[in-house]
Amino acid sequence: MERFKAQPIAQKERAILVGVALNSRSELEEELEELAALADTAGAEVVGVLTQTRKEIDPAYFIGQGKAEELARMCAELRADLVIFNHDLTPAQARNLEKLLNTRVVDRTELILDIFAKRARTKQAMLQVELAQLQYQLPRLRRMWQHLSRLGGGIGTRGPGETQLEVDQRRAKKRIADLQRQLQEIQRQTSTRVQSRKERELFTIALVGYTNVGKSTLMNALTKANVFVEDRLFATLDATTRVLYLPDGHKVLLTDTIGFIRKLPPHLIASFHATLEEVRTADLLLHVVDVSHPAMDEHIKVVEETLQEIGAGDKPTILVLNKADKLPPDWDKEALLRRYPNAVLVSALTGEGLNTLLSRIQDQFRRMRVVAVHARLALWAQSLIAFVYRNGVVREIAYDTDWVSLDAEMERPFAESLQKQAEEMMAGEVVLKEAVPAASQR
């Protein structure tokens, strides 16, 4: 199957970026900056940038023919090995451009897929990326192997008149089906894992956000876990889950996951279905933003749209404005928080604001899940008393000769389970009440 692997971008290939302003010029500037960061992450060196403003896309070259010829001269002068388009090209456009420029041409989607392929570490991530790559390439196979097209020759191996292209397409489709089957198997196992966690009913929080905003750094800062952090796009491709202890002693789970980006290739979203399951099943989302980034509002919009797309648009969410340390000292933080009224301003790097964030998480968690438990249990029911200690936070306990009086806080499912067990064992009485606000206990 080697021949279906896209040719990876090699270290320090000399790349020229091409961007067309179809709407606003300023948007293009921003997108090209991001494209340069993506190219850098892929290992290429950006040696030139070509931009053009036009109303309509040229069907043959995407840019106009005159501009394409200018690009060809640029490629020769700058000794470029690679041209990266900020837009998705049709197979015909890519073919025409490669012929005219005599240089390899990739589009934005291929660049992102290349980065994902390089970054994938686990079996699941690798399969997911390969699937997305193949699905993207399938309609483009003609471009890659047209020169190989010929009539089938091997007796009994091919149908009459079948071309190499058809053989390639058939093999690619077979590989796609194969990958989908393997991924389904992995997903079945993950779902069981997610499911069994749900059965134990631990409250799960997922970190979401644009790529490179500091999700993994925040995860580390909050849980002291050692998750891979890098000033590169898409450092994280797999979901990592850690235990987080809230100030009131309750235990919740925190999941770090893959970052989003504008125009995230739809094949990738589909392929990363299983990884994104962690987001879909979470109880609470922390939407992390890089508050020092000029395109922050655009990032927020992209993330919200992507969440909608994967079916996680309506979850309770806390907006976390990260990298506060990068704001100029005289920055009007009050005005910022007026603009984003439900946000928390933090720095995962310096620790600023993390306590506020933790208590905001705790408030949400308590509102959604915690109940106060008052229990009067027979002393012989040791297993029930142990159950409370294991699954809740005991606030007060008093013994007399035959009975134990307990005041505790538990997540509702645990509390209900306690109630049921006490009833079945005829071991005493359990009363559930609204939990008091956490603030009064600290």
Residues in the site for ligand GTP, rule: CB under 6 A?
Answer: 209, 211-217, 229-231, 233-236, 259, 322-323, 325-326, 347-349
**Counting contacts by CB under 5 A, is residue 208 touching Mg ion?**
no
Q: Which of 216, 271, 306, 364 binds Mg ion (CB under 5 A)?
A: 216
Is the Cβ of residue 119 or residue 369 nearer to Mg ion in the bound state?
119
**Counting contacts by CB under 5 A, is residue 220 touching Mg ion?**
no
Chosen from Mg ion, ligand GTP, none, partner binding at 326 (C-beta under 5 to 8 Å by type): ligand GTP
Rg (CA), the chain: 28
The nearest distance, CB 235 to Mg ion, in angstroms, is: 5
The nearest distance, CB 212 to Mg ion, in angstroms, is: 8
Chosen from ligand GTP, Mg ion, none, partner binding at 109 (C-beta under 5 to 8 Å by type): none
Angle, in degrees to the nearest 10, between helices 164-200 and 123-137:
140
Q: How far apart are CA 369 and CA 375, in angstroms?
A: 18
Is the Cβ of residue 353 or residue 428 nearer to ligand GTP in the bound state?
353
Please choose, out of 13-21, 35-43, 61-69, 207-215, the segment that lies near Mg ion by the rule CB under 5 A: 207-215
**Counting contacts by CB under 5 A, is residue 223 touching Mg ion?**
no
Is the Cβ of residue 212 or residue 391 nearer to ligand GTP in the bound state?
212
Q: Which residue is nearest to Mg ion (CB)?
A: 236
**Counting contacts by CB under 5 A, is residue 286 touching Mg ion?**
no
**Counting contacts by CB under 5 A, is residue 279 touching Mg ion?**
no
Strands 284-290 and 204-209: parallel
Count of residues interacting with Mg ion (CB under 5 A): 4
CB atoms within 10 A of CB 265: 22
Side-by-side strand order, sheet with 392-399 = 392-399, 403-411, 370-378, 428-434
**Counting contacts by CB under 5 A, is residue 235 touching Mg ion?**
yes
**Counting contacts by CB under 5 A, is residue 236 touching Mg ion?**
yes
The nearest distance, CB 118 to Mg ion, in angstroms, is: 15
CB atoms within 10 A of CB 24: 10
Chosen from ligand GTP, Mg ion, none, partner binding at 349 (C-beta under 5 to 8 Å by type): ligand GTP
**Counting contacts by CB under 5 A, is residue 204 touching Mg ion?**
no
The nearest distance, CB 220 to Mg ion, in angstroms, is: 10
Is the Cβ of residue 227 or residue 370 nearer to ligand GTP in the bound state?
227
59-66 long-range CB contacts below 8 Å, 24 or more apart? 59/90, 59/92, 59/93, 60/92, 60/93, 60/96, 61/93, 61/96, 61/97, 61/100, 62/20, 62/87, 62/89, 62/93, 62/97, 63/18, 63/20
Is the Cβ of residue 144 or residue 279 nearer to Mg ion in the bound state?
279
Is the Cβ of residue 21 or residue 279 nearer to Mg ion in the bound state?
279
Site pattern 170..189 for Mg ion (x: CB under 5 A): --------------------
Chosen from Mg ion, ligand GTP, none, partner binding at 217 (C-beta under 5 to 8 Å by type): ligand GTP
Q: How far apart are CA 199 and CA 196, in angstroms?
A: 5
Cα separation values, 60 from 63, 91, 100, 145, 406, Å? 8, 10, 11, 20, 77
Please choose, out of 49-57, 84-92, 193-201, 213-221, the segment that lies near Mg ion by the rule CB under 5 A: 213-221
Chosen from Mg ion, ligand GTP, none, partner binding at 212 (C-beta under 5 to 8 Å by type): ligand GTP
Chosen from Mg ion, ligand GTP, none, partner binding at 234 (C-beta under 5 to 8 Å by type): ligand GTP
The nearest distance, CB 219 to ligand GTP, in angstroms, is: 8
Is 73 exposed, middle or buried (CB count within 10 Å of its CB: 0-12, 13-18, 19+)?
A: exposed
The nearest distance, CB 325 to ligand GTP, in angstroms, is: 5
Chosen from Mg ion, ligand GTP, none, partner binding at 162 (C-beta under 5 to 8 Å by type): none
The nearest distance, CB 216 to Mg ion, in angstroms, is: 3
**Counting contacts by CB under 5 A, is residue 217 touching Mg ion?**
no
Q: How far apart are CA 221 and CA 351, in angstroms?
A: 7
Q: Which residue is nearest to ligand GTP (CB)?
A: 259
Q: Which residues of this protein are in contact with Mg ion, per CB under 5 A?
A: 215-216, 235-236
